[in-house]
Amino acid sequence: MKQVSRRAFIAAFMAPSVLLYALFLVWPLLQAFNDSRYQWSGVSTTRTDIGLRNFETLFRSDAFWQSLRNSGWVLVFGGLSLVALGVGIAHLLQHSGRFARFLRGVFLFPQVVSLVAVAIIWKFLYNPSFGLIGAGAAVWGGDVAPAGLLGTSVTALPSVTAAFVWWALGFYVMLFLAGLRSVPSEVNEAAELDGAQGWRRFRLVTWPMLWSVKRVAVAYVVINVVNLFALVFLMTRGGDPDRATEVVLTYLYELGFENGTFGLASAQAVVVFVLTMAVTALVLFWFRHDPEGARS
Amino acid sequence: MRRALGAGLGLALYALVVLVPLVWVLVGSLKTGSEVFSNPWGLPASPQWQNYADAWSQAGISRYFLNSVVATVGTLLVLIPIGAMAAYVFAKYTFWGSKGLFGMFLAGMMFPNFLVAVPLFLLMSEFGLLDTMIGLVLVYVSYSLSFTVFVLTGFFQRLPNELMEAAMLDGCGHGRTFWRVMFPLARPGVLVVAVFNAIGLWNEYPLALVLLSRDENRTLPLGLADVVLRTEYQANWGTLFAGLVIVMLPVMAVYWVFKDKIHEVMLAGAVKG
């Protein structure tokens, strides 16, 4: 009797969450794999099984590769900026005590406002006629094309990446600050006694001690970059100029919701999903262990 | 001394980089449309409070605001009880497959949700839930469960088992023990998780973009994005800036009140992920 009521309780308490999660998240994910086999347009109910031809179409399309390259570019340069600036600012913040809590709060402002607002703000900042950055560059003698930084293919992706870094950085500062604070004080004292100072001390002592935080940070960079959608969708109308800012999710939106090619869109989602898993596994493996930790 | 000065300077510079664009929007929201162009850096000649009234009524933002409140509150009303129930079971009971199930919820925290947008869209249209508030809320609940269950499991694990056992000895069943004793004890944690979720839900854009189409259903981020994309409206930037402030200010205020707790929750979610 007791056993039955325990089991019934567990089932009843788990059921709502498990059902919703399975129905709206797990099932669609499995469905994406299945849908990728079909040639299937818009609302029509007829769909033809074409095997792997959607993947073939995808791999032959320049836009697909362009979107992967652009996401990769943001991953590398956005990621490096986030980690470097995150560690640097956390380092500055480390010794500022009570003020640090206030500043950490300010630094997270961009994360709590909607990405829609962030996109609109940055679109304005880059506006060649009245934006702070557009106008500012002109004041300092910069040569901004009439189309503005977002309208010129060479500068568009770096400009979007800058907005992305502005939005995300606060979180990484917070992460690295927690990491720096978890470095045992004996380690810092020992480094002090050895006379390790400044950059040398950072490179040889602090940086290796941050390995677990670095691991979390790179995993988050991957997820943040793959999730990049609203910024591009709203800043450059989903990839302008000429796909210079096209990223994987804006391309998915184009295939699925602008062109209505559901099968092709599902195939693209499958490829991006597998790639994301692979890249995440790779970075987690790369940062798997503290090389110094093995000795202690 | 010189090093401390350098650090202070660096931090002040970063704080400026964060704040200047936000303040620029705030100042811009009080300018006339032409002032935004002619005087982008300066203060408005006379503050145009009218911009807020215009944004609220003419740009339809009052409607979007209401929809956002409904979507956010509606989601929390379902999410918090069912998420807490699952988290409690994960924290205090072991059963066949519990580890695997917990892992499945955890994996959702690192999953780029928008990848399933197309099959989700088709599923919702099959159920007749496309372009409905109910549909949006169900999806929001499902996509917020991972984080909610994960963080709340941590809270429940920290509550001592003795309290639970005492309640059971007093004749409470499993369910009564949860609702009468354990859930009230976890209330501070639940509140922070609710606030954190509320911020994310208030700001959510991509899923709403795919699932909603009628103007009367639009949430605030969706409505505002639409105002920007419709070029005709771009004549009056001042009103648009006021609209932005209306979206940003509530979350910034709520965030500031709870900021230390929210930082803890974000780090808890991050360190495990």
Task: Work out the minimum CA distance from A295 to partner chain B, whole angstroms.
Answer: 24
Q: What is the CA radius of gyration of chain B?
A: 23
> What pLDDT score does A159 carry?
92
Q: Give chain B positions within 8 Å (CB) of A287.
A: none
Q: Which percentage of chain B shows pLDDT scores above 90?
A: 61
Chain B interface mutation, best of A25, A132, A212, highest count of B Cβ atoms under 10 Å? A25
Q: Give the CATH number of domain A61-286; options: 1.10.600.10, 1.10.3720.10, 3.40.50.970, 1.10.1740.10.
A: 1.10.3720.10
Task: Work out the minimum CA distance from B269 to partner chain A, whole angstroms.
Answer: 10
> What pLDDT score does B21 carry?
92
Per-residue HEC secondary structure of chain B comes to CHHHHHHHHHHHHHHHHHHHHHHHHHHHCCCCHHHHHHCCCCCCCCCCCHHHHHHHHCCCHHHHHHHHHHHHHHHHHHHHHHHHHHHHHHHHCCCCCHHHHHHHHHHHHHCCHHHHHHHHHHHHHHCCCCCCHHHHHHHHHHHHHHHHHHHHHHHHHHCCHHHHHHHHHCCCCHHHHHHHHHHHHCHHHHHHHHHHHHHHHHHCCHHHHHHCCCHHHCCHHHHHHHHHHCHHHHHCHHHHHHHHHHHHHHHHHHHHHHHHHHHHHHHHHHHHC
Q: Give chain A positions within 8 Å (CB) of B89.
A: 9-10, 13-14
Q: Name the A residues in 257-286 with CB < 8 Å from any B CB.
A: 257, 262, 265-266, 269, 272-273, 276, 280
Task: Work out the minimum CA distance from B6 to partner chain A, whole angstroms.
Answer: 9
Mean pLDDT of B24-50: 84
A96-122 pLDDT tens trace: 777 778 888 999 999 999 999 999 899
Question: Confidence band (pLDDT; 50, 70, 90) for B54?
Answer: confident
Q: Which of A50, A103, A69, A95 has its CA nearest to residue A275?
A: A69
Give me the residues of chain A with pLDDT under 70, please. Answer: 1-4, 42-45, 134-146, 289-296
Q: Give chain B positions within 8 Å (CB) of A26.
A: 104
Whether residue B273 has pLDDT greater than 60: no
- Domain architecture of chain B: domains with CATH: 1-48 (no CATH), 61-272 (1.10.3720.10)
Question: Whole-angstrom Cα distance, residue A279 to residue A268?
Answer: 16
Q: Which of A233, A235, A226 has its CA nearest to residue B116?
A: A226
Whether residue B87 has pLDDT greater than 90: yes
B212-262 pLDDT tens trace: 999 899 999 999 888 877 754 556 788 888 989 999 999 999 999 999 899
- Residue in B15, B22, B120 closest to A103 by CB: B15
Helix (H, G, I), strand (E, B) or coil at A127: coil
Please answer whether residues A53 and A68 qualify as being in contact, where contact means their C-beta atoms are separated by less than 8 angstroms. Answer: no
Please answer whether residues B238 and B35 qualify as being in contact, where contact means their C-beta atoms are separated by less than 8 angstroms. Answer: yes
Provide the token pair at B53: 């009234």
- What residue ranges do the domains of chain A occupy? 61-286
H/E stretch holding A38: strand A38-39
Supply the ipTM of this predicted assembly: 0.91
Note whether B221 contacts A112, CB cutoff 8 Å. Answer: no
Mean pLDDT of B79-92: 96
Q: Which of A228-237, B75-84, B99-108 has the highest mean pLDDT?
A: B75-84
Contacts of A292 (CB under 8 A, 6+ apart): A208, A209
B202 touches chain A (CB under 8 A): yes
